[in-house]
Amino acid sequence: MDSGRKSKPLLLLAAGLVAGALLLVPSSLRPADKEEVRQPAVAGNFYPADPKELEKMIDGLLASAGAPTTQQPVVALIAPHAGYQYSGAVAAHSYALLKGRKFERVVVIAPSHFEAFDFTSVYDGDSYVTPLGAIPVDKAFAAKLASLAPGIQLSQRGHTPAGPQGEHALEVQLPFLQRTLGQFKLVPIVMGNQSWESSRALGVALAKLIPGTDTLIVASSDLTHYRSADEVSRIDHHTLQAIEDWDTLSLSRNFQAGVWEACGGAPIVAAMIAAQRLGANQARVLKYANTGDVTGDRSRVVGYGAVALLRAPRSGSPTGALFSLSDRDKQELLRIARLSAETAVRTRKLYEPPVPASAALLQERGAFVTLREKSELRGCIGYVSAVKPLYLTVRDVAAFAALRDSRFPPVTSGELGSLEYEVSVISPFRQVLDVKQIKVGRDGLMILKGGQDGILLPQVARDENWDRNTFLEQVGVKAGLPPRTWKDEDADLFAFTALVFAEPKAPEAFTPQPPFPGRPEQPTPPGRDSTPR
């Protein structure tokens, strides 16, 4: 949730944010020739209501942001939406990139803060108004967009005030756009549904309509809310790293699970899905700050990020650089995996390892632990998303692989001495739009369709001697879907790499460790999965 003054709860400010709000007459009661105009709801609160004062404020913020930092084509921007006195300096770094550029149309995607509805609402009126003037809505584009998916509708829901509070998240982007671009047509979108499916539908629909046009996408979002500055910074930098890695799947899942925070998480994911399909391949974080940087109060802050999604020269692997660990780090993770599995089997409790000194093991990473007995698979479970520090991820999934892989009976105490351990630390996920980029042996695959998903680690295809087509078919089978599902338009493929290491040697004698009081049977973070062999 957001407010004009980010250092106070939203409800304390609701009464003060109605300046300029207009309660509109239902469309069925309006004259046919009467224009539908969305008046400013937060002028005079989130930003100045006086045009000259507003222009001066925006120009000052843009000047402080400096000259554009890239000449590469800008496909989309991510900008915060709080009161300008708190987030305007960050937002200005996104809009400074627009200096000297022209766009005939801007699609602004925002979340709904005050009205609940289960669809994506594309404004069906004629214009949005700010103190700097009226911006015409591109009604033809909006109508085409709403025709492409049942979850996208022409509506005023989320746009016009549903009560005393008017939605600010879309509105506050507009004066910046007016000041940098001048004249343009607007496609105002407010997302009521924050799911992956909703973000995907909007992103794919935009990618179908935009090619061949001069269109910019803007995602409106703040980041973590109302925590200490240190905690907000820690969480937000995970989010921004995932954006730079273009890991839309982990972003969506971690936003919904509350592992990371962004009130406009769905708009961010939708913009990234559209931008990738439109040729963008680089996410550049331009600026990060929080309210504590403005107020000096670092006890309860909100984070803000400015990001540009660019079309840049392609280089390197489509799944990014491989994560690296020292030999000592690998040995430590294998030791944690073994002690965790043994503790879980013997005591039915989670092993509590000491906090490692290595910074690499403290990074939040997805990982799998594979157990083998006499070279035969005995269990394999992992977290596909970065939900915990790596050493705790390995701790968790090793215990689950021993006790909770549904394909096998739980490991017994008598088997512990013969188990072999393999750890796979996985990279962020990158959506695959061209299967020719998949390299068997290097890439793992995940498929997602209709709420069903399946994942195969890179070594599975290598060990089974599959070609690319067989690999694609088998990941569908893993998800419980037909082998040719990967060809379906509504199926999503994601590639990733893995750092795989094993210790097949016979284990040392088990030494009981102080157990963690939780039980492996407790609910686990999102992203757990198992891999077939």
In 3D space, the residue among 433, 442, 447 whose CA is nearest the CA of residue 529 turns out to be 447
Question: Going by C-beta distance under 8 Å and a sequence separation of 6 or more, which residues neighbour residue 329?
Answer: 358, 360, 361
Tokens of 172: 């506050």
Instruction: Give the confidence band of 262 by pLDDT, cuts at 50, 70, 90.
Output: very high
Per the model's pLDDT, the better-predicted residue between 309 and 35 turns out to be: 309
Structure confidence at residue 166 (pLDDT): 87
Residue range 277-303: average pLDDT?
95
- Contact 285/305 with Cβ under 8 angstroms? yes
Tokens representing 449? 């369709």
Contacts 24+ apart (CB under 8 A), 228-235: 228/298, 228/299, 228/300, 228/301, 229/290, 229/292, 229/298, 229/299, 229/301, 230/298, 232/290, 232/301, 232/302, 232/303, 233/288, 233/290, 233/303, 235/260, 235/261, 235/303
Retrieve residue 143's tokens: 């109508």
pLDDT at 164 (0 to 100): 75
CB atoms under 10 Å from CB of 316, counted, come to 7
Residue 322: pLDDT band (50, 70, 90) is: low
pLDDT band at 31 (very low <50, low <70, confident <90, very high): low
Q: What is the pLDDT of residues 326-339, one digit of tens each?
A: 999 999 999 999 99
Residue 513 has pLDDT above 70, yes or no: no
User: Tokens in use for 223?
Assistant: 């980041």
User: CB–CB of 271/309 below 8 Å?
Assistant: yes
Q: How many CB atoms lie within 10 A of CB 448?
A: 23
Q: State percent of the chain over pLDDT 70.
A: 86
The yes-or-no verdict on residue 165 having pLDDT over 90 is no
- Please state, in angstroms and rounded to a whole number, the distance separating the CA atoms of residues 465 and 482: 21
Whether pTM > 0.95 for this model: the answer is no
* pLDDT at 317 exceeding the cut of 60: no
**Please, which contacts does 253-259 make with residues 24 or more away whose CB atoms are closer than 8 Å?**
253/196, 253/385, 253/526, 253/527, 254/385, 254/386, 254/387, 254/526, 255/194, 256/194, 256/195, 256/196, 256/526, 257/387, 257/525, 257/526, 259/385, 259/387, 259/525, 259/526
Q: Tell how strand 528-530 and strand 133-136 pair up.
A: unpaired
pLDDT of residue 510: 47
Mean pLDDT across the chain: 88
Q: Quick check: helix, strand or coil at residue 13?
A: coil
Percent of the residues in the chain that have a pLDDT greater than 90, as a whole number: 81
Question: Across-strand partners of 303?
Answer: 290
Residue 109 and residue 273: Cα distance in Å, rounded? 13
Q: Single out the residue of 332, 353, 348, 345 nearest to residue 395, CA to CA.
A: 353
Distance CA 437, CA 281 (A): 14
Domains of the chain, earliest start first: 10-310 (3.40.830.10), 327-530 (3.30.700.20)
The DSSP-derived string for 348-410 is: SSEE-PPPPS-HHHHSB-EEEEEEEETTEEEEEEEESS--SBHHHHHHHHHHHHHH--TTSPP
Question: From CA 194, how far away is CA 176, in angstroms rounded?
Answer: 25
The pLDDT value given to residue 504: 55
The span from the CA of 50 to the CA of 243, in Å, is 36
- pLDDT, tens digit, for every residue of 38-72? 999 999 999 999 999 999 999 999 999 998 878 89
Spatial separation of the C-alpha atoms in residues 409 and 425, rounded to whole Å: 25
